[in-house]
Amino acid sequence: MTFGGHMIHLVVILFASVFTENILLARFLGMCSFLSVSRQVKTAVGLGFAVVFVMTFTVALDWLAFQYILQPFHLEFFRFILFIIIIAAFVQFVEMVIERYSPALYQTLGIFLPLITVNCAILGASLFMVIRDYNLAEGIAFGLGSGIGWMLAIVAMAGIREKLTTARIPAGLQGPGITLIIAGLMALAFIGFTGVLSGR
Amino acid sequence: MLGKKKTKDVVLDALWGDNPVFRQVLGICSALAVTNLVINTVVMSVAVIFTTALSSFTVSLLRKYTPRVVRMMIETLIIAFYVILFDQALKAYWPDMSRSLGPYVGLIITNCIIMGRAEAFANANPPAISFVDGFFSGAGYAIVLLAVSVVRELLGMGSILGIPMPYFSTGLWDRWIIMVMPPGAFFTLAIIVWILRSVKLAHEAKIQGAKK
């Protein structure tokens, strides 16, 4: 493949993971924090940025670990544990660095970092990367795109939920119920992108 | 004292009182994706029950020897151990199913319910009752997911477990393709949560009224 062709291929993976294969709306990953941290746009943006950052880097790190540690020793089944350790260690490391060098950023982003270790979207992105046999560049494009897609979904949801505080919702539907219905409508809207792009 | 609960109370709490899915809508990430077909959901449910029951049992068994500072790490490793066992067994004996579940079996590790039961119950209770608690927490979760998958497969494909159903598989029923696509999962779960919560709210209001 020529250089230009390769770039286009990466851009397709990036856009497909943001829109047609949105990790939250089409793959249901990262639902827990999506349902519980989507009440305000401001916090949703903070968590979203943290996810984009962590996901892009952990997919790259996990790819290196899988390629150079697990595969040569035929320890592929060990990837669940290794990936989790890498994600936890990376998040811890980033937290320390930010706290030391940028207290302002720590105030906005830092509180979300511990939440991210248990966000299944992060581990899910790495597992998809293995299943789809991506190379490093494809993996990074996929990680970045999935992070952006997740952020897009949670920020949109937070915007809608801020408006909902004045709406009259049946008692049994309040909280998670109505959030799920909105998520369903958003997923429906995102299906509209199908056919525009395919990442595989 | 928390440790003195009766087995029956533990079971009822896990299935109904504190059912993690419709009480807090926790832990649906790893499993909602597989509710498009009932058979996938059944396998996933077995995986979740297997993992919650045995990891709660193991966490409880080791609770007196686990240093508190590394508790979370140990719990994660225990959970990961059982998930790997299941994943490897599935890959060996039912490779097609393993492929169609994709990464979701592995994602059971990050399922908040399992960690939640280990933290909230198994840490402070003896092994046998922790096993029961874990088993029924997993079962409570499985029931909701099975309900979602039955509705989705029936309305979307006209079948249950791949067996064509009368009326729904005939020309009389226009298949709702949307039900087997992602939005169908959100809508179905939302409606189930709505019904169960309304029943529960009505029940609580009745108890309140009786007290007055």
CB A28 within 8 A of CB B28: yes
| Interface contact B126, partner A, CB < 8 A | no
CB B153 within 8 A of CB B180: yes
Q: Mean of the pLDDT values across residues A6-25?
A: 87
Distances (CA, A) of B100 to B36, B58, B103: 11, 30, 9
Residues B24, A188: C-beta atoms closer than 8 Å: no
- In this structure, is residue A196 part of a structural domain? no
Instruction: Name every chain A residue with its beta carbon within 8 A of the beta carbon of B184.
Output: 184
**Mean of all residue pLDDT scores within chain A:** 86
Sheet strands (E) in A123-168: none
pLDDT at A29: 87
- In this structure, is residue A45 part of a structural domain? yes
- In this structure, is residue A174 part of a structural domain? yes
Q: Give me the phi and psi of B122, to 5 degrees please.
A: -65, -25
CB B141 within 8 A of CB B113: yes
- Report residue B19's pLDDT band, with 50, 70 and 90 as the boundaries: low
pLDDT at A200: 47
Q: Which string of b and e fits B19-57 if b means at least 16 CB within 10 Å?
A: bbbbbbbbbbbbbbbbbbbbebbbbbbebbbbbbbbbbb
Distances (CA, A) of B57 to B11, B125, B148, B186: 15, 10, 29, 33
Give the best residue of A20, A23, A29, A31 to mutate against chain B (max B CB count within 10 A). A31
Residues B186, A183: C-beta atoms closer than 8 Å: yes
What is the nearest CA distance from B161 to chain A, expressed in angstroms?
22
- In this structure, is residue A199 part of a structural domain? no
The count of domains in chain A is 1
What is the nearest CA distance from A31 to chain B, expressed in angstroms?
5
- Complex prediction ipTM: 0.84
Nearest to A172 among B184, B185, B197 (CB): B197
Per-residue pLDDT tens for A88-113? 889 888 888 888 888 877 877 766 77
Sheet strands (E) in B16-161: 159-160
Q: Mean of the pLDDT values across residues A6-15?
A: 88
| Interface contact A123, partner B, CB < 8 A | yes
Instruction: Name every chain A residue with its beta carbon within 8 A of the beta carbon of B22.
Output: 176
User: The domain containing residue A104 runs over which residues?
Assistant: 3-191
Q: Which residue on chain A is closest to B78 by alpha carbon?
A: A81
